[in-house]
C-alpha cells in the first residue's frame, strides 16, 4: 500500500526544539494534523523531553518507557536507523535493561514523585534466536521481568505456537508437551506481565481469552494524596489471518482497531479516566526524504485518523506502536505516536504531566522521543545490566550443547547477508540459500516432482553466521529459520505464479525469495502496485507457460495465504515436501552439502531483474 498517498503535504512547518526537528502536514479530508518529529539525539539529557517540570509542580509526572518486537532478542544486535542517524550494533536485552534504567533515573532526578510505567507492544517472543527459542522463550520472560516490564499486549508472533502456549510461559506453568532437556529443566516462574488485549475475542463465545482484560488501570497521586488514574489499552492488528497459520488464528476474531479503541475510550471516560495509553501491534514509520521533509505513514496513522472520525474528542494521549520494525515519532491530532524499531535496538520514552483536577494530561505537556540502545563501543559509560546479563548467560549455558554443534562448513569465513542487508531488489544471500535448500531437500526425498521453491522474506530472520574456521553451527542455522514451519508442495499454473509474484508489489511490505526461478519486473503506472512482473522464466531461461501446472515448495504459512499472498491458497496442495520442518531442512542441507565435499557458497543475487519502463 502507498501510505504516502493518504497524506497531503500542503503545509510544512520546520522548527527546532533543542536537538529535535518537526514537520507538520494537514490530512486532506479529515482535518487531523499529523506532526512528524525527527529524533537527532541518543541521550534524553540533550532533548526537551522533560518539558518545564517546574511549571508542573502541582501535577503528576508520568513516564512511559516502551519497547516492541523484542522477538526473544536477548543477545541480538543490529543497525538502528533513527531519523537520519545510524547506530551500529545497537540493541540486546542486556543493554536495553541498562538504558531503561538510565532513562528512568534521569526522569526521577527532576520528578522525584513521578511514576514510570514500562510496557511493550507485542511480539515479545517468536522468531527468536536459540537462547530463547530452545527454552520456549521462557528466558525472554525472565529477562522482561528483570527489566520491570510489567504491562504488555499481543503481537502476531505470540500466536506462533498457539496462544495457549504463550499464556503458559507468561504464567510460568510447566510445559504441556515434551521439548528438549534444556527447556524441560528450565525454571518455570510467573513473569508478572499483565496482558491487556481489547480486540481479540474467542470465536466460540466472543469473550477475551484467558481472562485477559481490555484495559488495565493504574492509580497515581500527588505528594499530598490527590489521586487520579491512568489506563492502558491493548490492541492487535486485525490482519492476523495473513500473519500466522490457520490453526493458530482461527479460534479467535480480530475486531476493528479504531472502533475498539473508541469503545473503551468512552467507557474509561465515563469512569472519569482521561489519561489513556494505547499499546498497539500495528505498523508505522517516520521517514525523512532528501529534501529534509519528514512524514509519518502506516496502519497506525490510518487507525488514529479513523478514531478521530469516530470520536474527535477521544482521550487517547499516547499510541505505542509495533509490528513494522521501523522508527516512528509523531503526533496525530493530540495523540503522540511512537515505535522503537525492534529487537531492543531502541526504546520509547514518553513524559507528560497529569492534572489531578481534570484527570488528564495537561495540554501539550506530553513529549515523546525514541532513543537507541547503544553498544559498549559507542557508549562505554553505560554498563551492561547485571540481572539481565546473568539470565542471558544462564540461557546460553543451558542450550550450548545443542547450539554449538558443528553441522557443516562454508567455502569462506564470511557470514552471509540477511534481510537487514537486502539488495535493492529484496534479495539476500541467506534468503536465497534457504529456498535453494528447501528445493534440494524436497527433491532428495522425492515425495513429489518439484519445479520451484518460494518462501516469505520475513520467515528468514537473520543472516547465516560463519565462524573464523569456516564452520557453521546448528544455532546459526536455527537463528535463520526459527519457526519450524512444515513445507508443502502446491500445484500452481504459470499464471498463478505470475500473480503471486505481482502480489509482492501490491502489498508494498512483504517480498518473496525464490529458487530455480528468475523474473524481470518493471515500473507500473497503477498507484496501487508500484511494479509489475514482465517475464518469469526458469534457470535455463525458458519462460513459464501460463497454462502449464508447476509444483512449488512453500511453507504452511504461505499455503494458507499468509503475508498477504492469497494466491498461494488457490493452489492445489499435493502433500508435504519433506518429513522435517524448515529449520531441520536447512540444517540437513548444510550437512549434506558439506559431507558431499561442497562447502556452502554464497548464492549470486540475480533472481530479480529490474528493467526500466521506456
C-alpha 52: how far from its chain's center?
Answer: 34
Q: How far is CA 352 from CA 10, 55, 265, 318, in A?
A: 30, 12, 19, 10
Cell of 360: 488528564
Query: What angle do the packed helices 299-310 and 257-270 form, to 10 degrees?
Result: 50
> pLDDT tens digits for 457-500?
999 999 999 999 999 999 999 999 998 899 999 999 999 999 99
> pLDDT tens digits for 426-465?
999 999 999 999 999 999 986 668 999 999 999 999 999 9
The kind and range of the H/E element at 453 are: strand 452-456
Q: Which of the residues in the chain have pLDDT under 50?
A: 1-22, 24-30
C-alpha 300: how far from its chain's center?
Answer: 14
pLDDT of residue 448: 64
> pLDDT tens digits for 577-608?
998 999 999 999 999 999 999 999 999 999 99
Q: How far is CA 545 from CA 322, 492, 493, 531, in A?
A: 41, 11, 8, 21
Of 81, 36, 67, nearest in space to 336 by CA: 36
What's the CA gap between 481 and 475, in Å, rounded? Answer: 10
- What's the DSSP call for residue 37? E
What's the CA gap between 84 and 529, in Å, rounded? Answer: 28
Write the burial class of residue 223 (CB in 10 Å: 0-12 exposed, 13-18 middle, 19+ buried).
exposed
Question: What would the DSSP string read from start to end of 240-285?
Answer: GGGTS-HHHHTTEEE--HHHHHHHHHHHHHHTT--EEEEEEE---E
Q: What is the largest CA-CA distance in the chain?
A: 80
Fold classification of 3-389 (topology level): Purple Acid Phosphatase; chain A, domain 2 (3.60.21)
What's the CA gap between 60 and 74, in Å, rounded? Answer: 34
Counting Cα atoms < 13 Å in the Cβ hemisphere of 554 gives 29
Cell of 282: 500495528
The kind and range of the H/E element at 212 are: none
Q: How far is CA 320 from CA 90, 99, 233, 331, 518, in A?
A: 20, 18, 10, 11, 40
pLDDT of residue 509: 60
pLDDT of residue 19: 36
Residues facing 87 on adjacent strands? 80
Ramachandran category for residue 188: left, alpha or beta (phi over 0 → left; psi -120 to 50 → alpha): beta
> pLDDT tens digits for 11-20?
222 222 333 4
pTM above 0.75, yes or no: yes
pLDDT of residue 2: 33
pLDDT of residue 506: 84
120 and 279 in contact (C-beta within 8 Å)? yes
Contacts 24+ apart (CB under 8 A), 358-363: 358/274, 359/228, 359/229, 359/272, 359/273, 359/274, 359/275, 360/274, 360/275, 360/315, 360/317, 361/62, 361/275, 361/317, 362/56, 362/59, 363/334
158 and 125 in contact (C-beta within 8 Å)? yes
Counting Cα atoms < 13 Å in the Cβ hemisphere of 364 gives 3
Write the burial class of residue 283 (CB in 10 Å: 0-12 exposed, 13-18 middle, 19+ buried).
buried
Taking the domains of the chain in order of start, what are their residue ranges? Answer: 3-389, 406-610
pLDDT of residue 115: 98
What is the three-state SS of 102-127? Answer: HHHHHHHHHCCCCEEEEEECCCCCCC
pLDDT of residue 107: 98
Tell whether the torsion through CA atoms of 265, 270, 276 and 278 is positive or negative: negative
574 and 475 in contact (C-beta within 8 Å)? no
- For the beta carbon of residue 4, count every other beta carbon within 10 angstroms: 11
What's the CA gap between 80 and 64, in Å, rounded? Answer: 21
Cell numbers 503458559: residue:
168
pLDDT of residue 507: 60
> pLDDT tens digits for 71-81?
999 999 999 99
Write the burial class of residue 406 (CB in 10 Å: 0-12 exposed, 13-18 middle, 19+ buried).
middle
What's the CA gap between 448 and 440, in Å, rounded? Answer: 12
- Phi/psi at 366 (5° precision): -85, 125
- Cα angle 364, 366, 371; round to 5: 135
| CATH placement of domain 406-610 | 3.90.780.10
Evaluate whether 3-389 and 406-610 have a shared fold.
no
pLDDT of residue 367: 97
Question: Helix, strand, coil proportions of the chain in percent (round to 5)?
Answer: 30, 30, 40
Amino acid at each position: 500500500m502507498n501510505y504516502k498517498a493518504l497524506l497531503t503535504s500542503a503545509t510544512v512547518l520546520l522548527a527546532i526544539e533543542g536537538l529535535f526537528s518537526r514537520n507538520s502536514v494537514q490530512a486532506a479530508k479529515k482535518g487531523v494534523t499529523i506532526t512528524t518529529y525527527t529524533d537527532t539525539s541518543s541521550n534524553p539529557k540533550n532533548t526537551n523531553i522533560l518539558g518545564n517540570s517546574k511549571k508542573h509542580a502541582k501535577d503528576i509526572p508520568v513516564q512511559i518507557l516502551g519497547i516492541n518486537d523484542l522477538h526473544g532478542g536477548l543477545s541480538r544486535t543490529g543497525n538502528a536507523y533513527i531519523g537520519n542517524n545510524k547506530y551500529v550494533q545497537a540493541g540486546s536485552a542486556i543493554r536495553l535493561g541498562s538504558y531503561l534504567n538510565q532513562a528512568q533515573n534521569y526522569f526521577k532526578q527532576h520528578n522525584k514523585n513521578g511514576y514510570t510505567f514500562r510496557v511493550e507492544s507485542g511480539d515479545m517472543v517468536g522468531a527468536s534466536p536459540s537462547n530463547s527459542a530452545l527454552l520456549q522463550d521462557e528466558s525472554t520472560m525472565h529477562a522482561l521481568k528483570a527489566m520491570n516490564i510489567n504491562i504488555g499486549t499481543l503481537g502476531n508472533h505470540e500466536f506462533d505456537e498457539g496462544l495457549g502456549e504463550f499464556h503458559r510461559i507468561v504464567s510460568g506453568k510447566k510445559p504441556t508437551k515434551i521439548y528438549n532437556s534444556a527447556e524441560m529443566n528450565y525454571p518455570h516462574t510467573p513473569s508478572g506481565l499483565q496482558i491487556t488485549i481489547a480486540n481479540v475475542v474467542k470465536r466460540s463465545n466472543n469473550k477475551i481469552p484467558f481472562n485477559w482484560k481490555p484495559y488495565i488501570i493504574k492509580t497515581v497521586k500527588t505528594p499530598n494524596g490527590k489521586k487520579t488514574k491512568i489506563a492502558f489499552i491493548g490492541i492487535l492488528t486485525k490482519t492476523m489471518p495473513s500473519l500466522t497459520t490457520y490453526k493458530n488464528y482461527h479460534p479467535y476474531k480480530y475486531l476493528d482497531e479504531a472502533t475498539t479503541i473508541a469503545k473503551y475510550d468512552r467507557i474509561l471516560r465515563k469512569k472519569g479516566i482521561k489519561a489513556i495509553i494505547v499499546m498497539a501491534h500495528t505498523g508505522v514509520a517516520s521517514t525523512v526524504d532528501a529534501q529534509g521533509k519528514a512524514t509519518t505513514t502506516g496502519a497506525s496513522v490510518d487507525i488514529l485518523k479513523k478514531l478521530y472520525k469516530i470520536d474527535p474528542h477521544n482521550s487517547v494521549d499516547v499510541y505505542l506502536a509495533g509490528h513494522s520494525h521501523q522508527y516512528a515519532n509523531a503526533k496525530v491530532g493530540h495523540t503522540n505516536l511512537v515505535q522503537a524499531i525492534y529487537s531492543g535496538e531502541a526504546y520509547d520514552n514518553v513524559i507528560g504531566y497529569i492534572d489531578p483536577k481534570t484527570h488528564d494530561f495537561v495540554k501539550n505537556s506530553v513529549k515523546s522521543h525514541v532513543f537507541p540502545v547503544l553498544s559498549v563501543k559507542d557508549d562505554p559509560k553505560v554498563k551492561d545490566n547485571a540481572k539481565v546479563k546473568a539470565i542471558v548467560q544462564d540461557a546460553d549455558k543451558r542450550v550450548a550443547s545443542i547450539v554449538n554443534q558443528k553441522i557443516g562448513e562454508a567455502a569462506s569465513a564470511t557470514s552471509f547477508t540477511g534481510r537487514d542487508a537486502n539488495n535493492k531488489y529484496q534479495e539476500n544471500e541467506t534468503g536465497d540459500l534457504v529456498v535453494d535448500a528447501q528445493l534440494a531437500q524436497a527433491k532428495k526425498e522425492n515425495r513429489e516432482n518439484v519445479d520451484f521453491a518460494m518462501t516469505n522474506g520475513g520467515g528468514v530472520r537473520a543472516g547465516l553466521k560463519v565462524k573464523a574456521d569456516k564452520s557453521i553451527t546448528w544455532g546459526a542455522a536455527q537463528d535463520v529459520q526459527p519457526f519450524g514451519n512444515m513445507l508443502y508442495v502446491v500445484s500452481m499454473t504459470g499464471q498463478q505464479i505470475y500473480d503471486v509474484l505481482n502480489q509482492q508489489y501490491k502489498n508494498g511490505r512483504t517480498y518473496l525469495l525464490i529458487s530455480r526461478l528468475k523474473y524481470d519486473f518493471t515500473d507500473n503506472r497503477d498507484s496501487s502496485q508500484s511494479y509489475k512482473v514482465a517475464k518469469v522464466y526458469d534457470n535455463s531461461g525458458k519462460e513459464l507457460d501460463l497454462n502449464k501446472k508447476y509444483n512449488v515448495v512453500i511453507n504452511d504459512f504461505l499455503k494458507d495465504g499468509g503475508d498477504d499472498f492469497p494466491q498461494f491458497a488457490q493452489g492445489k496442495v499435493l502433500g508435504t515436501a519433506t518429513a522435517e520442518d524448515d529449520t531441520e531442512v536447512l540444517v540437513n542441507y548444510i550437512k549434506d552439502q558439506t559431507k558431499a565435499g561442497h562447502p556452502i557458497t554464497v548464492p549470486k543475487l540475480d533472481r530479480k531483474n529490474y528493467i526500466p519502463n521506456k
